[in-house]
A = this chain, B = another copy of it.
Amino acid sequence: MANHITPDEFRRHGHAVVDWIADYWSGLDSLPVTSADPPGTVAAQLPARPPERGEPLDRLLADLDTVITPGLTHWQHPRFFGYFPANTSGPSVLGDLVSAGLGVQGMLWSTGPACTEVETVVLDWLAELLDLPARFRSTGSGGGVIQDSASSAILIAVLAALHRAGGGRWREHGVDRPYRVYTSGQGHSAIEKAVRIAGLGDAGLRTVAVDPQTLALDPAALRTAIEADRAAGLVPAAVVATIGTTSTTAVDPVPAIGELCREYGLWLHVDAAYAGAAAICPELRHTHAGLEHADSYCFDPHKWLLTGFDCDAFWVADRAELITALTVLPEYLRNAATESGAVLDYRDWQVPLGRRFRALKLWFVLRWYGAEGLRAHIRDTIALADGFAARVEADRRFELVGAHPFTLVCFRLRSAGDTADADADAVNAELLARVNATGRAYLTHTRVGGRYTLRLAVGSPYTGREHVTQTWQLLADTATELKR
């Protein structure tokens, strides 16, 4: 007989794991944010062959401390400022734990009615919190669904767009016309990947110019590109606009883009992966102007809304169109509920067939924090980013790069008058490398107008003013060191 765990063993070990996590979070501040070990360090500490006999869980927990955590980049660390944050929270972890224990596979409504219905309701709640257009709600023509990430959401949007652009022939005949998808040069790499996966090739993506100041897509350039492609016999299918680009959180002019999409009959997907969470604050909702034109929209509660990865919230305005594009129905999935037409089967809204009960973690977060708690988190973190930006601005060796409407601050050491751009880039790259090598903070970089630029993104519930101050001091001191 297999050595299945008993309920009492599970209780005992489960309490130990919960305590381990609480201790880990409490101790994060004193850990280096990233590991300095070379590639292969963790693997070298693991046996080359799988264990023949079972081991006690205590040994696994011990290895977490000696092998795993020393080999990690700590995304929940109060001085992790890299990429965009991917922050979780206690309520999210607990909701996810319930989901793991239930072990429900909600591919169909009938294989987990509560799994489907909680997701529908919670996505409607979110739509209300963000004040999304009514047609995105399940009570209208559309509805929301959880995807693993904005990458998958973009892919799904592109597929639905091809279905529409082909007048229905895409399902049967695939990419048999030269479809084109448009985004700005600041759009996320996931757009290029989605277009490639969908079979359009990299040639199927049109990169539209941006305003050099705001880095937002230039609608006039979009019109020109669409017109040129139409004249060349190509088939414009979709535009992916971004609210809060990854590089600098630029906001594309969705109202103008939306008008163009309507005029030319293109699908408009709006990717607000990071910045979407801001829309729960009325004073930031202006960043979402024009969303009434969108055919689909997504943002990631797993970035800035305290919900653990993976949780991308994706909405479509016309769910019937999406389902028609993606559905495949073999005999072994037929069931009375599906045939009644009275239920949503979320398998038809995504790439994979199976799905976890991810709505639970979101439900836990929304209820624990309440709308006011979530707004407070958005405002708290924006205040921290603004504070950091003020310090950059006050130090004449540094300059801010662009605006910082959310919690991402882009900045760099100024070029001295006689410094070539390449040299200034090298100095900034060296600054970043030295700061990260201390393990006392972690930032990443981008290029803006070709120039090497540092990025500091705030999001962790553990980040306080002191962590931002310490990080600024580290940057300033390192800059001083570099000038010597």
User: Is A18 within 8 A of B14, CB to CB?
Assistant: yes
Report the separation of the CA atoms of residues A90 and B328 in the bound assembly, to the nearest whole angstrom. 34
A142 interface residue, CB < 8 Å from B?
no
Chain B residues near A221 (CB-CB < 8 A): none
Q: Among the listed B103, B105, B110, B330, which residue makes an inter-chain contact with A189, where contact means beta carbons less than 8 Å apart?
A: B330
Closest CB of chain B to A297's CB: distance in Å? 18
User: Is A18 within 8 A of B20, CB to CB?
Assistant: no
User: Is B356 within 8 A of A309, CB to CB?
Assistant: yes
Task: Give the segment of A144-152, A261-269, A315-323, A469-477 that binds chain B.
Answer: A144-152
Q: Which of A281-297 contact B (CB under 8 A)?
A: none
Task: Give the segment of A122-130, A228-236, A394-402 that binds chain B.
Answer: A122-130
Number of A interface residues at 8 Å Cβ cutoff, please give it.
168
User: Is B370 within 8 A of A197, CB to CB?
Assistant: no
A98 interface residue, CB < 8 Å from B?
yes
User: Is B368 within 8 A of A54, CB to CB?
Assistant: yes
The residue in chain B whose Cβ has the minimal distance to the Cβ of A11 is: B22
Encoded as 1 (CB less than 8 Å from any B CB) or 0, chain A from 146 to 180 comes to 00110110010001001000000111111110000
Closest CB of chain B to A472's CB: distance in Å? 21
User: Is A18 within 8 A of B15, CB to CB?
Assistant: yes
Given contacts A37-B113, A200-B199, contact A353 B149 (CB under 8 A): yes
Given contacts A90-B9, A192-B328, contact A373 B54 (CB under 8 A): yes
The residue in chain B whose Cβ has the minimal distance to the Cβ of A325 is: B196
User: Is A125 within 8 A of B50, CB to CB?
Assistant: yes
Closest CB of chain B to A45's CB: distance in Å? 9
Report the separation of the CA atoms of residues A86 and B21 in the bound assembly, to the nearest whole angstrom. 27
Report the separation of the CA atoms of residues A365 and B19 in the bound assembly, to the nearest whole angstrom. 20
Task: Give the segment of A64-72, A209-217, A413-421 that binds chain B.
Answer: A64-72
A57 interface residue, CB < 8 Å from B?
yes
User: Is B111 within 8 A of A309, CB to CB?
Assistant: no
9 contacts between A and B (CB under 8 A): A2-B369, A3-B368, A24-B101, A49-B128, A54-B368, A71-B117, A75-B111, A92-B100, A151-B354
User: Is A309 within 8 A of B103, CB to CB?
Assistant: yes
Encoded as 1 (CB less than 8 Å from any B CB) or 0, chain A from 14 to 43 comes to 110111111111100000001101011111
A96 interface residue, CB < 8 Å from B?
yes
Task: Give the segment of A252-260, A385-393, A443-451 that binds chain B.
Answer: A443-451
Chain B residues near A308 (CB-CB < 8 A): 100, 103
Given contacts A49-B128, A149-B353, A353-B190, contact A39 B86 (CB under 8 A): no
User: Is B41 within 8 A of A113, CB to CB?
Assistant: yes
User: Is B14 within 8 A of A118, CB to CB?
Assistant: no
Given contacts A2-B377, A14-B21, A366-B50, contact A113 B332 (CB under 8 A): no
User: Is B367 within 8 A of A59, CB to CB?
Assistant: yes
Chain B residues near A481 (CB-CB < 8 A): none
User: Is A105 within 8 A of B86, CB to CB?
Assistant: yes
Closest CB of chain B to A96's CB: distance in Å? 5
A364 interface residue, CB < 8 Å from B?
yes
Closest CB of chain B to A240's CB: distance in Å? 14
Closest CB of chain B to A443's CB: distance in Å? 11
Report the separation of the CA atoms of residues A88 and B197 in the bound assembly, to the nearest whole angstrom. 31
The residue in chain B whose Cβ has the minimal distance to the Cβ of A191 is: B328
Q: Which of A84-139 contact B (CB under 8 A)?
A: 86-98, 100-105, 109-115, 117-118, 120-121, 124-126, 128-129
A455 interface residue, CB < 8 Å from B?
yes
Closest CB of chain B to A168's CB: distance in Å? 11
Encoded as 1 (CB less than 8 Å from any B CB) or 0, chain A from 345 to 363 comes to 0000001111110001001
The residue in chain B whose Cβ has the minimal distance to the Cβ of A326 is: B193
Closest CB of chain B to A51's CB: distance in Å? 5
The residue in chain B whose Cβ has the minimal distance to the Cβ of A9 is: B90
A483 interface residue, CB < 8 Å from B?
no
A52 interface residue, CB < 8 Å from B?
yes
Closest CB of chain B to A369's CB: distance in Å? 5
Q: Among the listed B52, B100, B446, which residue makes an inter-chain contact with A97, where contact means beta carbons less than 8 Å apart?
A: B100
The residue in chain B whose Cβ has the minimal distance to the Cβ of A371 is: B52
Given contacts A86-B354, A114-B42, A171-B196, contact A94 B343 (CB under 8 A): no
